[in-house]
């Protein structure tokens, strides 16, 4: 069989495995198998690509060894609490790879376009620009998202030397060194922000049009568009508030797929086009699901600066919290016939998922009906809570979505909120002045009794106070979530 035909058939097999693997990722029961099937598809695609004549195998092997080592070590050492920023970082590396592919291909073909671009290669020129633009935005945007999720402190120190003169000296004097800058979850807003972003984006498009018109003679506009793409990635991401991070993670994931798809057109690689399109489309769909779960448009997420100063005035939370001990909470649970767990980022921080599953099993043995209600945007990335519960081997049939649990919440004896905050905040339903008003929530306050497991009364990632904490049917079980759940487990075992 001709080598070209064999390679194309291999790409088709890879594409089928990608699609089938992604479909299997939609269920907890089949997700691991779907991941293996998709990995097999990628392995076949890589092997087929290596069969192309003229490959420098020594560089390929070196790249596989270095990249594989870094990826393996990182995956083994990463904590589940750091998984959102880990995903954001991976999105960024995908964008950077696409940017470099487009740039390298342009460098290699620039001289051949000195007499003009053949009509059949015009798609490649456009694809190069798109790979650089989308890849650049994805790379720096993902780095900022990663920093916001990790709340990385940046310490910048310098000393103004007497010998420094001119513009550098003036700038250093103006900012008063040393400077401490913390990249936290709060949105960064400034006057005229959208105008600045629009002007820069328009400038990128102008550079892109000039590049497509004469790629051989427009190297400087190409470099300017590359730099502006990196700048826009930062400027587009800094206004995103912490509560909107699940949306921006899925959006950046989509960007990385679109950048890969553009890179596929650049190098005429079918499997890269297919896989990039799949990632781009699934990311957009997931972004839409995330926005729907918050009852907000994508434009509102990207441009509102959620969590920054707002004209809305939320009602002040009145009342006092009612603490409860683990021993007293045990007696309530021991008599309960139905219990619903509502996990949040606090469960991930405490690594309490295994203890929660053990408590759920003990409650079932005691005759209670147990469910786990998962909000679509709980945690700091799409599916964060589902991954944690699957890791603890929680039965898939016990996981219920928000729309399924809310109609029966009034019949639930005990709702146990573990580190969740904004996704169970009644202000989203009742307070028109609240920044999160209109966001669909899990109505745990309708349950007969609510246990909230938190370290303190501190507001959640959105920075909005929660009246649930002082409700009449709520009891606060303060402390580390894992230790609190383990104390309840000990109660049942003894």
What residues act catalytically?
422
Q: Which two tokens mark 200?
A: 């820069």
| Residues forming beta bridges with residue 372, ordered by sequence position | 341, 399
268 secondary structure, DSSP code: T
253 secondary structure, DSSP code: H
Q: Which segments of 110-187 does DSSP mark as H helices, in order? A: 122-150, 166-175
Contact 385, 343 (CB under 8 A): yes
Q: Which of helix, strand or coil describes residue 476?
A: strand
Give Cβ neighbours of residue 365 (< 8 Å, ≥ 6 apart): none
Cβ neighbour number for residue 109 with a 10 Å cutoff: 17
Instruction: Find where tokens 């998922």 sit.
Output: 353
CA atoms within 13 A of residue 489's CA, in its CB half-sphere = 16
CA dist 90 and 78 (Å) reads 13
| Residue (of 418, 419, 368, 364) closest to 395 by Cα position | 364
Instruction: Find where tokens 């099937």 sit.
Output: 37
Q: Dihedral of the CA atoms 117, 206, 142, 76 (nearest 10)?
A: 10
Contact 266, 222 (CB under 8 A): no
CA dist 222 and 205 (Å) reads 11
Give Cβ neighbours of residue 36 (< 8 Å, ≥ 6 apart): 21
SS3 for 275-344 is: HHHHHHHHHHHHHHHHHHHHCCCHHHHHHCCCCCCCCCCCCCCCCCCCECCHHHHHHHHHCCCEEEEEEC
CA atoms within 13 A of residue 471's CA, in its CB half-sphere = 21
Cβ neighbour number for residue 102 with a 10 Å cutoff: 29
């Amino acid at each position: 069989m001709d080598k070209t035909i064999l390679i194309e058939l291999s790409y088709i097999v890879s594409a089928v495995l990608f699609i089938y693997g992604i479909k299997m990722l939609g269920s907890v029961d089949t997700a691991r198998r779907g991941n293996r099937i998709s990995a097999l598809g990628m392995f076949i695609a890589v092997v087929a690509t290596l069969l192309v004549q003229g490959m420098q195998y020594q560089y390929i092997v070196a790249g596989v060894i270095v990249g594989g080592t870094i990826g393996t070590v990182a995956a083994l050492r990463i904590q589940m609490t750091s998984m959102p920023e880990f995903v954001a970082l991976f999105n960024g590396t995908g964008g950077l790879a696409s940017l470099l592919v487009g740039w390298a291909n342009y460098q290699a073909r620039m001289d051949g376009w000195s007499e003009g671009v053949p009509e059949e290669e015009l798609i490649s020129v456009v694809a190069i620009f798109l790979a650089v633009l989308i890849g650049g935005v994805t790379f720096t945007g993902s780095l900022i998202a990663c920093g916001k999720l990790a709340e990385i402190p940046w310490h910048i120190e310098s000393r103004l030397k007497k010998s420094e003169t001119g513009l550098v000296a003036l700038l250093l004097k103006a900012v008063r060194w040393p400077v401490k800058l913390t990249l936290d979850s709060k949105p960064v807003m400034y006057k005229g922000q959208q105008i600045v972003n629009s002007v820069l984006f328009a400038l990128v498009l102008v550079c892109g049009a000039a590049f497509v018109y004469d790629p051989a003679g427009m190297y400087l506009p190409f470099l300017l568009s590359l730099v502006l793409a990196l700048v826009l990635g930062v400027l587009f991401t800094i206004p995103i508030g912490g509560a909107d991070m699940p949306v921006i993670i899925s959006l950046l994931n989509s960007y990385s797929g679109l950048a890969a798809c553009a890179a596929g057109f650049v190098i005429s690689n079918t499997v890269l086009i297919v896989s990039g399109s799949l990632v781009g489309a699934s990311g957009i769909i997931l972004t839409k699901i995330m926005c729907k779960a918050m009852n907000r448009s994508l434009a509102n997420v990207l441009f509102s600066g959620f969590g920054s100063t707002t004209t809305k005035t939320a009602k002040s939370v009145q009342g006092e919290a009612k603490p409860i001990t683990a021993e007293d909470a045990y007696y309530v649970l021991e008599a309960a016939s139905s219990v619903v767990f509502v996990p949040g980022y606090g469960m991930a921080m405490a690594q309490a998922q295994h203890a929660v599953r053990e408590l759920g099993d003990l409650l079932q043995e005691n005759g209670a009906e147990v469910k786990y209600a998962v909000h679509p945007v709980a945690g700091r990335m799409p599916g964060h809570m589902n991954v944690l519960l699957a890791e603890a081997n929680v039965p898939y049939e016990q996981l219920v979505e928000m729309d399924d649990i809310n109609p029966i919440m009034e019949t639930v004896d005990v709702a146990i909120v573990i580190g969740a905050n904004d996704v169970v905040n009644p202000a989203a339903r009742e307070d028109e002045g609240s920044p999160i008003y209109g966001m669909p929530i899990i109505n745990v306050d309708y349950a007969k009794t609510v246990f909230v497991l938190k370290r303190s009364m501190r507001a959640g990632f959105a920075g909005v106070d929660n009246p649930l904490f002082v409700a009449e049917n709520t009891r606060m079980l303060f402390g580390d979530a894992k230790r609190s759940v383990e104390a309840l487990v000990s109660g049942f075992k003894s």
